[in-house]
Amino acid sequence: MKRRFAAFLLGLLLTPLMAAAGHAERQVTDQLGRQVTLPDSVSRAVVLQHQTLNLAVQMNATGKVVGILDQWKQQLGANYARLAPELAKLAMPGGLTKVNIEALLQLKPDVVFVTNYAPAEMIGQIEKAGVPVIAISLLTAPAGEAAKVSPVVADEEAAYESGFAEGVRLIGTVLDRKDEAEALIATASAKRRLVAERLAAVTPAERVSAYMANPDLATYGSGKYTGIMMKRAGAANVAAELQGFKQVTMEQVLKWNPAVIFVQERYPAVVEEIKTAPAWQPIRAVKAGHIYLMPEYAKAWGYPMPEAMALGELWMAKKLYPERFADIDMQAEADAYYKRFYRTGYDSFH
């Protein structure tokens, strides 16, 4: 009888411990500074932000992704599907600023990734349904700025440097890809050092003036990674006085008169417009033929991507200062990166 009673007591003690072990939890801090409790092991993630989706692909974690944002093709580019064809088969229960909660819950996610500027109501709706939400910004920003589309920070370069590493590590931690996350950070850091060393002697007055052209005369000023990308590549962004992604006038572009014009890979029609439209012809970059369609890996987005930091900044620096990077073979650089992180060669080099 005593032995049976002792066994009964032991069972009472072990039952909650065993239950806890079966439903282990952990806490992480997302990039809005929120404490998020999530399962110790995540096997079903919904990703409603293209930057996080791109990073999940590079970390070889798409096997854990069960749902993605509806605009992933538009945001990642027409050619991206070749790098992760499995994405085309996934459900799309929402986007950057909206969610279909019924469709989301049908996927039974362990966690949902959203952008830092996802509406508070959207995040609250998902959390009330019992699903943890992690916001990613790839930027370290003060509390009052963290949830904005174009956060204002005291030191942009430092904010993106630390925020990039923090965000990549967070995604790697949640998806159990810590080693891949560290490899991405290390690769980006190494290539950035190479660019910095070769441009160390370039004075502010010697920097090449450059403009980032988008459809409808939109461009990037400060408060976005694109501006940091241009700065690190040795460019003087003529639109630096602006904050965020802004539409400008042709008169303003003529006044800036940039020596080089860059165009994102997804907007080839903009290149043709600049080359042929009469209004653009007086600009120095057009006269000299210095209009460059950026390669896919440059990813001149608002947020930093590791391939943009490892390859895009190097490509841009080589365009601006060809003599300083004459020994750099961008096709070889891109192939090596893509084989390491996308598990395929880079086959659409511009």
Question: Tens digit of pLDDT for each residue in 244-298?
Answer: 899 999 999 999 999 999 999 889 999 999 999 999 999 999 999 999 999 989 9
Mean pLDDT value across the chain: 91
On the question of a common fold for 25-176 and 203-325, the answer reads yes
The per-residue pLDDT for 7 is: 42
Give every CB contact of residue 286 below 8 A, 6+ residues apart in sequence: 261, 274, 275, 280
Q: Are 31 and 167 in contact (CB under 8 A)?
A: yes
Residue carrying structure tokens 């996308």: 342
Evaluate the CA torsion angle 48, 51, 52, 54 in order and state its sign: positive
Rounded Cα gap, residues 157 and 139, in angstroms:
10
Determine the topology of domain 25-176 in CATH: Rossmann fold (3.40.50)
- Contact between residue 242 and residue 259 where contact means Cβ atoms under 8 Å apart: no
pLDDT digits (tens, 9 = 90+) for 110-155: 999 999 999 999 999 999 999 999 999 999 999 999 999 888 889 9
Asked whether the beta carbons of 112 and 46 are under 8 A apart, the reply is yes
Alpha-carbon torsion 107, 108, 109, 114, what sign? positive
Contacts 24+ apart (CB under 8 A), 189-196: 190/310, 191/309, 191/310, 191/311, 191/313, 191/314, 191/333, 192/232, 192/309, 192/310, 192/313, 194/314, 195/232, 195/233, 195/234, 195/313, 195/314, 195/317, 196/232
- 198-230 pLDDT, tens per residue? 999 999 999 999 999 999 999 999 888 899 999
Residue type for 174, please? V
pLDDT tens-digit readout, 155-180: 988 999 999 999 999 999 999 999 99
Domain ranges of the chain: 25-176, 203-325
CB 140 within 8 A of CB 155: no
Q: Identify whether the C-beta of residue 242 lies closer than 8 Å to the C-beta of residue 221.
A: yes
Provide CB contacts within 8 A for 329, sequence distance 6+: none
CATH of domain 203-325: 3.40.50.1980
